[in-house]
C-alpha cells in the first residue's frame, strides 16, 4: 500500500468502479516496488524519516511490543523495528512489494517479523480488539478512499494507551531534489534508473488511475489531520514536519485508556502531551490564579512531584477546550500528598488498606454554566469510578473543607480526622481528611448531582 513518491497524482472525483480500481491500485503498487528501495539507499530525507519513525516507536512502545506496519511496502520500517526487538506484522496490497520485504527479513535473519498480503480498505477484521501496542502507517492513508475508516480500525486494534504513528504527505514530493541527491550519492546511472522507473510509474498512474478518475491521493493538512484523529478519539502527542522539504506531517497519537461522551462533552484519560498540558494549564488557572492555593510561576502550568505517580482525567468541549480535570494519585514510593497534613499511610496500615487513590486537583472552568458544571462533575466522577473498577482500587481519600462536607455529605464518604490548616502557603481556612468507599459513594454522589446540588471542591 505504501508509496514513497506521490508525484503524478492529484485529488480527484470518486471512483466509478470499485473492482477495476482495486486492480489498478494493485498494478500501480507492483510498479512502485522497482523504485521503492532506491530511497533508503540514497535519499537522506527518507533515511531520516525512517530513523524518526523508528525513534517515535521506541519512545512510545516498550521493547517486545507488538507493532502493525500498515502499508509496509518492501519492509524497510518493519525490518528496522524487528531488529530493535519488536514483534512486527507488515501488511501490504502488493505481492511484488511483499516479495522484496520477505527477502529483507530472510537476509536479516528475523523470526519476529511477518508479512501478509491484505487490502486495508477491507478493514482489519482479521485482528481482534486491543491486539497491538503500536500501529505505524507511512505513506498509506493518503492513498485510501476512506482513511477515516482505517483510522477507526487502528483505534480498535490498539491496546489502551497504545500509540499510532503516521507519516502522511501534505503535498507531492518533487523528483528533482531526489534526483540531485541520488546523483551525488550514486551517480548518473542510478539517476537514469530512477527517472525511467518513475516515468513508468507515472504512465501507470495516468493510464490506469487517471482513466478511472479515482483521485487516489488525498493530501493532508494539519487541521484536517487533527480533526480526523480527535474525531476517532485519538489524542495528539505531536505533529511535526518531516521528509523532503517538510512535505510530510509526522504525527504521534495515543489511544486513551478511557474515553466516553456525555451531554456534548468528552471525558478521557490525559495521556498525550497536549492533553496533559491542557490539564496543567487549567489547574494553574484555578489553583494559582482564581483560588491562590498554589504560588504562581512563569510556566503557566501547575504541577508537583506527585504527578509522576498519578493519572489525570480531562473533560473537553466540542472544540477540544479543557473544561474540567481531576487527578488520582496511586500508591507510590514517596507517599500521598495528604501525608504532609494527615498520616494517611499510617491510617491505611491501621485499617488494613493496601491499595488506595488520593483524589485531588479537581477543577472546573468557571466559564461553564451551572448545568454544564453538574455534567462535568458527574463525568469526572464516572472517570474515577471506572478507573477504580479497572484497577480494583475502591478506597479513595481526599481533603476538603468542613462546610463542603456539611453541605454535600453523602453515604460512603466519611471524615477521618480533625480539621486542620492546610500546610500550603497560600491556602486559608480549615480542611478535613475524608475517606470514601467508591462503590458506596457513587450512588450518593449521583443523587446529589441529579438534584442540582453541584459538586465538592477537592484540594
The two domains 18-254 and 259-450 share their CATH topology (first three levels equal)? no
The domain defined by 18-254 folds into Rossmann fold (3.40.50)
| Residue that is written with C-alpha cell 528501495 in the block | 37
Q: Which three cell numbers stand for residue 136?
A: 505505524
Name the residue ranges covered by the structural domains of the chain: 18-254, 259-450
The domain defined by 259-450 folds into Aminopeptidase (3.40.630)
No. of helices (H) and no. of strands (E), the chain: 15, 16
CA distance 352 to 349: 5
DSSP 3-state of 115: strand
Tell me the whole-structure pTM to 2 decimals.
0.79
Please report, for residues 70, 133, 160, 195, the alpha-carbon distance to residue 157 in angstroms, rounded to integers and kept in the order given.
12, 9, 9, 39
How much is the pLDDT for 14? 35
- List all residues 6 or more positions away from 21 whose beta carbon is below 8 Å from its beta carbon: 15, 212, 214
How much is the pLDDT for 41? 66
Regions of the chain short of the pLDDT cut 70:
1-28, 31, 34-35, 38-43, 172-217, 407-411, 423-428, 441-459
- List all residues 6 or more positions away from 365 whose beta carbon is below 8 Å from its beta carbon: 282, 285, 286, 322, 323, 324
How much is the pLDDT for 18? 40
- List all residues 6 or more positions away from 334 whose beta carbon is below 8 Å from its beta carbon: 305, 306, 309
How much is the pLDDT for 453? 46
* CA atoms within a 13 Å half-sphere pointing along the CA-CB vector of 349: 5
DSSP 73: T
Give tens-digit pLDDT for 23-58. Answer: 445 566 776 776 677 666 666 778 899 999 999 999
Number of residues written out for the chain = 459
How much is the pLDDT for 144? 84
How much is the pLDDT for 145? 81
Identify which of 235, 395, 282, 278 has the alpha carbon closest to the alpha carbon of residue 329. Answer: 395
Give tens-digit pLDDT for 143-184. Answer: 888 899 999 999 999 999 999 999 998 876 655 555 555 555
Amino acid at each position: 500500500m505504501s508509496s514513497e513518491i506521490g508525484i503524478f497524482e492529484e485529488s480527484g472525483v470518486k471512483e466509478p468502479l470499485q473492482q477495476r480500481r482495486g486492480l489498478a491500485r494493485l498494478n500501480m503498487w507492483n510498479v512502485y516496488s522497482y523504485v521503492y528501495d532506491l530511497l533508503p539507499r540514497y535519499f537522506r530525507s527518507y533515511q531520516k524519516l525512517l530513523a524518526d519513525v523508528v525513534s517515535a516507536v521506541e519512545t512510545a512502545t516498550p521493547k517486545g511490543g507488538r507493532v502493525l506496519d500498515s502499508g509496509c511496502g518492501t519492509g524497510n520500517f518493519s525490518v528496522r523495528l524487528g531488529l530493535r526487538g519488536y514483534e512486527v506484522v507488515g501488511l501490504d496490497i502488493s505481492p511484488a512489494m511483499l516479495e522484496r520485504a520477505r527477502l529483507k527479513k530472510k537476509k536479516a535473519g528475523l523470526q519476529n517479523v511477518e508479512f501478509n498480503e491484505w487490502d486495508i480498505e477491507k478493514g482489519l477484521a482479521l485482528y481482534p480488539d486491543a491486539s497491538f501496542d503500536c500501529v505505524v502507517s507511512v505513506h498509506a492513508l493518503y492513498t485510501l478512499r476512506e482513511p477515516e475508516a482505517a483510522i477507526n480500525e487502528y483505534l480498535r486494534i490498539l491496546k489502551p494507551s497504545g500509540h499510532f504513528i503516521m507519516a502522511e504527505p501534505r503535498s507531492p514530493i518533487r523528483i528533482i531534489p531526489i534526483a540531485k541527491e541520488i546523483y551525488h550519492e550514486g551517480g548518473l546511472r542510478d539517476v537514469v534508473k530512477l527517472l525511467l522507473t518513475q516515468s513508468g510509474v507515472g504512465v501507470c498512474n495516468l493510464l490506469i488511475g487517471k482513466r478511472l478518475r479515482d483521485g487516489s491521493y488525498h493530501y493532508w493538512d494539519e487541521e484536517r489531520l487533527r480533526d480526523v484523529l480527535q474525531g476517532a478519539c485519538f489524542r495528539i502527542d505531536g505533529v511535526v514536519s518531516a521528509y523532503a522539504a517538510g512535505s510530510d506531517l509526522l504525527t504521534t497519537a495515543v489511544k486513551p485508556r478511557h474515553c466516553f461522551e456525555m451531554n456534548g462533552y468528552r471525558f478521557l484519560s490525559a495521556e498525550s502531551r497536549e492533553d496533559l498540558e491542557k490539564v496543567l494549564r487549567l489547574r494553574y488557572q484555578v489553583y494559582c490564579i482564581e483560588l491562590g492555593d498554589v504560588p504562581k510561576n512563569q510556566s503557566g502550568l501547575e504541577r508537583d512531584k506527585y504527578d509522576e505517580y498519578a493519572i489525570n482525567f480531562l473533560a473537553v468541549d466540542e472544540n477540544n477546550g479543557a473544561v474540567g480535570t481531576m487527578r488520582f494519585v496511586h500508591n507510590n514510593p514517596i507517599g500521598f500528598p495528604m501525608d504532609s497534613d494527615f498520616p494517611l499511610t499510617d491510617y491505611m496500615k491501621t485499617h488494613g488498606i493496601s491499595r488506595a487513590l488520593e483524589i485531588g486537583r479537581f477543577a472546573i472552568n468557571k466559564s461553564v454554566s451551572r448545568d454544564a458544571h453538574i455534567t462535568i462533575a458527574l463525568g469526572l466522577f464516572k472517570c474515577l469510578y471506572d478507573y477504580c473498577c479497572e484497577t480494583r482500587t475502591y478506597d479513595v481519600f481526599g481533603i476538603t473543607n468542613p462546610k463542603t462536607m456539611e453541605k454535600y455529605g453523602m453515604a460512603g464518604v466519611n471524615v477521618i480526622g480533625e480539621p486542620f490548616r492546610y500546610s500550603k502557603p497560600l491556602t486559608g481556612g480549615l480542611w478535613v481528611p475524608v475517606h470514601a468507599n467508591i462503590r458506596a459513594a457513587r450512588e450518593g454522589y449521583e443523587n446529589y448531582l441529579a438534584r442540582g446540588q453541584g459538586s465538592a471542591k477537592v484540594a
